[in-house]
Chains A and B, each alone.
Chain A
Amino acid sequence: GQQLNQSPQSMFIQEGEDVSMNCTSSSIFNTWLWYKQDPGEGPVLLIALYKAGELTSNGRLTAQFGITRKDSFLNISASIPSDVGIYFCAGTNTGNQFYFGTGTSLTVIP
């Protein structure tokens, strides 16, 4: 089946640092979504992207829809302890099928 690969798999950063993570696909996607999942909870949508090249911000979070439509990036600026969690990309391909990525686990050290 479709695979959305995220990197890095895990990150350990100091509070206040900026974070970058990305998501790549072997095929073209029409939408990209970024979610955060806390332990014992379902994913919560952070940012949605709808067209190639689009750059969207939500507070300290910024995400971009890659020009090739096969990748997306998420940046978190000035990280804080509550940013800890697992970040998932997700998206719909040209067949309108929906997939989640493999996840990036973020640990913020105070």
Chain B
Amino acid sequence: EAGVAQSPRYKIIEKRQSVAFWCNPISGHATLYWYQQILGQGPKLLIQFQNNGVVDDSQLPKDRFSAERLKGVDSTLKIQPAKLEDSAVYLCASSPRTTYNEQFFGPGTRLTVL
């Protein structure tokens, strides 16, 4: 069974630029999560989708971050414009249902903002 796929694996941009990350969850998984993991910290949940609807986006900085999951499968996370403090690994995870203990994580995208 293929795991959660993310691309790109690495991205370097300058502050105020825009960036987008892509996630392809495990086939059949209805729930998709985006996390931000700053170096030396645990992952922080940004947004959770159930199919193509948002379940929880309470920790998403909506002034600059946006995410979508239009067809209930792939998802994109965008940052516009990026700030230095956005440098982090962005992890995508998926689960069959809205149960955190069934999450499978992708390898992440490491973003560096200069």
Contacts and interface: CB of A to CB of B under 8 A. Distances in A.
B100 A98 contact: yes
Contact of A100 (B40, B44, B56): B44
Contacts of B101: 31, 33, 45, 48
Contacts of B107: 40-42
B25 interface: no
Interface residues of A, number: 21
B43 interface: yes
Interface in B33-73: 35, 40-45, 56, 58-59
A41 B93 CA distance: 12
19 contacts: A1-B59, A33-B100, A40-B107, A41-B107, A42-B4, A42-B104, A42-B106, A42-B107, A44-B105, A45-B101, A45-B103, A48-B101, A88-B42, A90-B100, A99-B42, A100-B42, A102-B42, A103-B40, A103-B41
A102 B100 contact: no
Contact of A90 (B41, B42, B58, B106): B42
Tell me if A's interface is mostly helix, strand, loop or mixed.
strand
Given A44-B105, A99-B42, 19 more contacts: A1-B59, A31-B100, A31-B101, A33-B100, A33-B101, A40-B108, A41-B105, A42-B93, A43-B43, A43-B105, A88-B42, A90-B42, A90-B100, A97-B56, A100-B35, A100-B42, A100-B43, A102-B42, A103-B41
A41 B37 CA distance: 12
B73 to A, nearest CB: 19
Contacts of A1: 59
Given A31-B100, A90-B100, A98-B100, A42 B42 contact: no
B26 interface: no
